[in-house]
Amino acid sequence: MSAYSTNEMMTVAAARRLGNSDVTFVGIGLPSKAANLARLTHAPDVTLIYESGPIGAKPSVLPLSIGDGELAETADTVVPTGEIFRYWLQGGRIDVGFLGAAQVDKYGNINTTVIGDYHNPKVRLPGAGGAPEIAGSAKRVFIILKQGHRTFVDKLAFITSVGHGEGGEHRQQLGLPGAGPVAIITDLCIMEPEAGTKEFVVTSIHPGVSREQIIAATGWPIRFAEQVAETQAPQKHELEALRALEARTAAAHGQAGGEE
């Protein structure tokens, strides 16, 4: 077993969640890296859709922007952006929405808009992009981001994209078609919503990470499931595929893809 970084563990753990037949709506950055790793390892037939219009993209290097030419050239088809959101997402054809976030709360709600008051912001973030409707309409949602007490917060200043809302049955009451977030994958652990409350609890801890580290890196009193697994360490073939993908990306762009 070769040594690996916590970021590599996060990407590999996220990639493993994707199945070979999943039609996946992919966000740029970490989600795109994990989704392409899945395609290059255990899920060669996974369908990747990017909001700029490519359906069935098979990039050999990671895109830096959501509309890189590589995505169009390797896609089964390229459709207008309006069609992506209208026919393919709202039409109910997306199995998995794969999202990043600036901040999440314990119900998997996402903030990518603002820190502080909206009208007098402390930090102005990029905004919604495609995430609110991906979070609403995809059949399942995965969220991937690095864990820290500033990113995993008790109360979001702004809910850009809804997860399980206020918990319990709230999401169904809102009338959202998809099941919402089913996993948050971080550099420390995997969290899944607890039955009933829909509060995210730790269900798998990455090798070498302690419960205390996870508690310290979470802005709410994080709970652990009754059965907590140890995440399988990245395997040789996973690390090789990931590192080769990153090396190709760096060679093509002069910078790493998806480290935002």
Partner 1 sequence: MAEILSLGEAVSRFIHDGDSIALEGFTHLIPTAAAHELIRQGRRDLTLIRMTPDLVYDLLIGAGCAKKLVFSWGGNPGVGSLHRLRDAVEKGWPQPLEIEEHSHADMANAYVAGASGLPFAVLRAYAGSDLPKVNPLIKSVTCPFTGEQLAAVPSVRPDVTVIHAQKADRKGNVLIQGILGVQKEAALAAQRCIVTVEEIVDELNAPMNACVLPNWALTAVCLVPGGAHPSYAHGYYERDNRFYQAWDPIARDRESFNAWIDTYIRGTADFAAYQAKLQEAKQ
Question: Rule CB under 8 A: which residues touch partner 1?
Answer: 28, 51-54, 64-69, 71-72, 78-82, 84-86, 89-90, 109, 113, 118-119, 121, 123-124, 126-133, 136-137, 158-162, 165, 170-171, 174-177, 253-255, 257, 260
Q: What are phi and psi of 228, to 5 degrees?
A: -110, 125
Chain centre to alpha carbon of residue 250: 22
Token pair 């080769």 is found at 244
Q: How far is the CB of 178 from partner 1 (least distance, A)?
A: 11
Catalytic residue among 8, 51, 133, 246: 51
**With respect to partner 1, which residue has the nearer C-beta, 72 or 179?**
72
Q: How far is the CB of 48 from partner 1 (least distance, A)?
A: 15
CA–CA dist 102, 70 (Å, integer):
26
DSSP letter string over 15-45?
HHT--TT-EEEE-TTHHHHHHHHHHHTT-TT
CA–CA dist 87, 78 (Å, integer):
13
Q: How far is the CB of 214 from partner 1 (least distance, A)?
A: 27
Q: Quick check: is 238 catalytic?
A: no
The partner residues of 181 in beta bridges, in order of sequence, read 141
CA–CA dist 156, 154 (Å, integer):
7
Q: How far is the CB of 172 from partner 1 (least distance, A)?
A: 11
**With respect to partner 1, which residue has the nearer C-beta, 79 or 215?**
79
**With respect to partner 1, which residue has the nearer C-beta, 87 or 230?**
87
Residues 210, 216, 218, 223, CA torsion sign: positive
**With respect to partner 1, which residue has the nearer C-beta, 72 or 201?**
72
- Which positions are annotated as active-site residues? 51
